[in-house]
Structure 1
Amino acid sequence: MLWFIIIAAVIALDQYTKYLALTRLVNYDTIPLIENVFHLTFVKNRGAAFGILQNQKWFFIVVTGAIMIGIIYYIYREKPESKLLMISLSMILGGAVGNLIDRIRYSYVVDFFDFTLINFPVFNVADSFVVVGTIFLSYYLLFKYDAKKDEA
């Protein structure tokens, strides 16, 4: 049940912040929170990270759907006991759903966090959860996963 709560919370937070971006940032070029370091900048992202694969809406919908099905299938089939694994998969799934909602609803993903100091791509809450969830998953697979236990 924990995984469902995390997924719902990630989606709710992501969609709420995107709503705020759509209603409050759309008329501004950028709003500096820390001048020349961190801004809020409304961006319609029709591609993936770093703007690659622009205007490939259906490709992203299909790939995201396949990832979601794979994660849900794994959770139901394997019923993993590791909280770290469940949290990481839930964060990834919640972030994926958050961006999928945008792609279906608007044909683009709403991005607004802008680290201008390092010229990093503008991103959103869903992206953040996917990245942090992937870091947690990588940590789990590298340091916590015991392949010998699965062989028994």
Structure 2
Amino acid sequence: MFVISLLIAAGLIAVDQIIKIIVNANLEIGSVVEVIKFGDFKLFSLNHVRNSGAAWSIMEGKTWFLIGLPVVICVLGVYYMYRQRNSSKLQLVSLAMLIAGGLGNLIDRIRIKEVIDYIKFEPFKFPVFNFADICVVVGAILFAVYIIFLDNSGKKATESDIAETEDTANTAEEKDE
């Protein structure tokens, strides 16, 4: 499943980069194309903007940090994914999405020193975002769902587990005497 997860990540990175190439080639920076509109109510538009910072333009101009941190996180993420390769498919897919989103925006930062954003959800005053950002958010939600509801590694010990541990300890004490 590890290789499949890497292929999923590669596919998502490819989709992200293809969309960004299309946006860059067809929309001037700052231009807005209303995609879904009901009368005066705008729901969704394409708005080509550039972001040299992180989310909400925080850390603007800190390019080396915004390159270095995702590199470290993605390397650790791939390592963790490899270590968990026989784990839940949900866990591996969520990690693949997180890594893909991080690398999708990292490619932009290395290539053009800023990230291409283009999705604007109009009903809320929310920053313009991109497909890689969606991968990070959905991946994080899925990973949280896995950890909270499906991961058994941190489960509480049952009474039978405690009794078994006590029996083992008592047996060891008897051998020592």
How high is the TM-score relative to the length of structure 2?
0.80
Q: What amino acid is the match of 2:15?
A: L
Matched residue SS, 1:73: helix
Deviation track 1:97-117 (CA, whole Å, cap 9, x = no partner) reads: 110000000000000001122
| Residue aligning to 1:131 | 137
Deviation at 1:4, TM superposition (A): 1.4
Using the alignment, how far apart are the partners of 2:21 and 2:96 within structure 1? 22
Counterpart for residue 15 of structure 2: 13
Matched, 1:43 2:49: yes
For structure 1, list consecutive stretches of 5 or more residues without a partner in the other structure.
Answer: none
Partner Cα distance (2:82, 2:121) in 1: 38
Q: 1:73 to 1:104 in 2, by over 3 A?
A: same
* CA apart distance, 1:91: 0.5
Asked whether the 8 Å contact 1:80–1:86 carries over to 2, the reply is no
1:2 counterpart residue number = 4
Alpha-carbon distance between aligned partners in 1 of 2:111 and 2:60, rounded to the nearest angstrom: 17
Distance 2:28 2:153 in 1: 49
* 1:46-125 mapped onto 2 (5 Å cutoff): 46-125=52-131
Contact residue 61 and residue 100 of structure 1 kept, 8 A: yes
Q: How many residues align?
A: 150
Q: 1:10-35 CA deviation, whole Å, 9 max, x = no partner?
A: 01100000001100012662000123
1:24 corresponds to which letter in structure 2? Answer: N
Distance 2:18 2:105 in 1: 12
Partner of 1:25: 27
User: 1:76 offset after TM fit, Å?
Assistant: 2.3
User: How high is the sequence identity, in percent, across the aligned residues?
Assistant: 39
Cα deviation code 1:3-56 (max 9, x no counterpart): 011111101100000001100012662000123221100011111111111111
- Largest Rg, 1 or 2: 2
Q: Deviations over 1:51-85 (max 9, x none)?
A: 11111111111110111111111122343421000
Q: Which amino acid aligns with 1:15?
A: Q
TM-score by length of 1: 0.93
**Larger RCO: 1 or 2 (CA < 8 Å, sep 6+):** 1
Distance 2:44 2:112 in 1: 26
User: Is 2:50–2:115's contact at 8 Å kept on the other side of the alignment?
Assistant: yes
The unaligned stretches of length 5 or more in structure 2 are 158-177
